[in-house]
Amino acid sequence: MRPLRPALLAALLLGGCAGVPLTYHSSGLMAPLPHDGPGLPLCALDVTLSDPDLTADPVHGALEAEMGRQVTRFIQGDGRFTLDPGPNCQGTSVSMAFTDISDTGQFEIYSEGMPMTLTAVAEVTYWRQSQSPATARSFTHSSVMTVQPEIGNSMEGPNLLFINSVRNKTRLMEGVLTELQARLEAP
């Protein structure tokens, strides 16, 4: 997890001062809890950001690339899956589209003691390499977290939001991998 950047902190604080809705994004994920055993092979992994709050952003491509790297590292550290992009891979291809990972809220209201809800949603499509992509199956997984503000130190609000935003995205990834594993291991 990267430390809170000064620019992000300034945006959080200025957004609250102006009384306008605050939108920010962190592509960071916490380290996964490692799982034992041989991982199920993933032949291909495609990660896209289709969150409407991010697609118009001029740095969308950089955010998408960073999220792809974060998801890849998360999967590698998790252990339930192994990335095996070789031509003889007999595993599964996966496409993850993150449709809601920007956190939007009224920081001014949050700083006055009202909770803020963080939402992360991914649409996952998968198919076995031995089958056509036309046979793909899909599911949607979401993680919702309500953050209660800690009033007192002016730095606690932005830090708490950032940390919980990363935590919520990590919960989303844990849930996605758990559901994907269950679906792939089902008869």
pLDDT of residue 139: 96
pLDDT of residue 10: 39
CA distances from 12 to 27, 36, 125, 146, 150 (A): 16, 40, 34, 18, 15
pLDDT of residue 54: 75
Segments making up each domain of the chain, as ranges: 38-185
Determine the longest span between alpha carbons in the chain, in angstroms: 58
Instruction: Give pLDDT tens digits along the chain (187 positions).
Output: 344 444 443 343 334 433 434 444 455 788 898 898 789 999 999 999 888 877 777 777 888 898 899 999 999 999 999 998 888 888 999 999 999 887 766 556 666 677 778 889 999 999 988 888 888 999 999 999 888 776 665 555 567 777 888 889 999 999 999 999 999 998 7
Secondary element (H or E) of residue 139: strand 137-147
Contact 102, 67 (CB under 8 A): no
**CATH topology (fold) of 38-185:** Double Stranded RNA Binding Domain (3.30.160)
Beta strands 116-128 and 92-100 are antiparallel
Its pTM stands at 0.78
Return d(Cα 84, Cα 79) in angstroms, integer.
Answer: 13
Q: Which amino acid is at 137?
A: R
